[in-house]
Amino acid sequence: MTFEKRFKELFKKLNKEQREAVETIEGPVFVVAGPGTGKTTVLTLRVANILKKTDMPPDAILALTFSDSGAAAMRRKLAAIIGPTAYRVNISTFHSFANDLIKTYPDKFPRIIGAEHIEDLAVRKLMQEVIDETKSKILRPRNAPDYYVAKCLAAIKELKRENFSPEKFKKLAMKQGIEKTKELARVYLAYEKKLAKRRLYDYEDMIMEVVRVLERDRNFLL
């Protein structure tokens, strides 16, 4: 079966909104859908459609996902449509892509290069230190001082994934005026300072640092 026939066969199975996403080959497309609704298929077909309708070289396309399994599924589906050319398309996880950029352009990432990745157990210990030292009243209950350690770490990970720096989150917390949120902002800021002082970085820092560099210099990859 040819590329064209395989593409048409899969395209017919899409609903109206999915077809619209696939057919939009220029500009941003925002797809909101739950698990198992065909997001990977839509993204894969959009990549295939870009290659089909434009002169875009496969290695100029970057497709990112959160998990290794998601990247593997996207590669497999794309290969089923366009064949071996799929292996020239850059398909990766966000973290792998960030790590590759950091290794390729180390001079752009002084915060990461030379620092050491902090493991999960050490992260929890560091967060407990931060909560203790910031003397949080809400986030450090007297009867269970470690109760919010995991919750704070989860919240900070999410903030980093959304590219919320400690300073940006502090401004938001002060604006909201919620005491618990203000405490989390203080904890986040202190946590980042401890990481930097000890020349450590966590898993999410790789993505944040790449985003910061790209925001400062959008042309450094060209």
* pLDDT lower than 50: segments of the chain: none
- HEC profile of the chain: CCHHHHHHHHHHCCCHHHHHHHHCCCCCCCCCCCCCCCHHHHHHHHHHHHHHHCCCCHHHCEEEECCHHHHHHHHHHHHHHHHHHHHHCEEEEHHHHHHHHHHHCHHHCCCCCCCEECCHHHHHHHHHHHHHHCCCCCCCCCCCCCCCHHHHHHHHHHHHHCCCCHHHHHHHHHHHCCHHHHHHHHHHHHHHHHHHHCCEECCCHHHHHHHHHHHHCCCCCC
Q: What is the pLDDT of residue 118?
A: 92
Single pTM value for the model:
0.76
Q: What is the pLDDT of residue 220?
A: 67
Q: What is the pLDDT of residues 180-222, one digit of tens each?
A: 999 999 999 999 999 999 999 998 998 888 888 888 887 766 5
Q: What is the pLDDT of residue 66?
A: 84
Q: What is the pLDDT of residue 37?
A: 85
Q: What is the pLDDT of residue 59?
A: 94
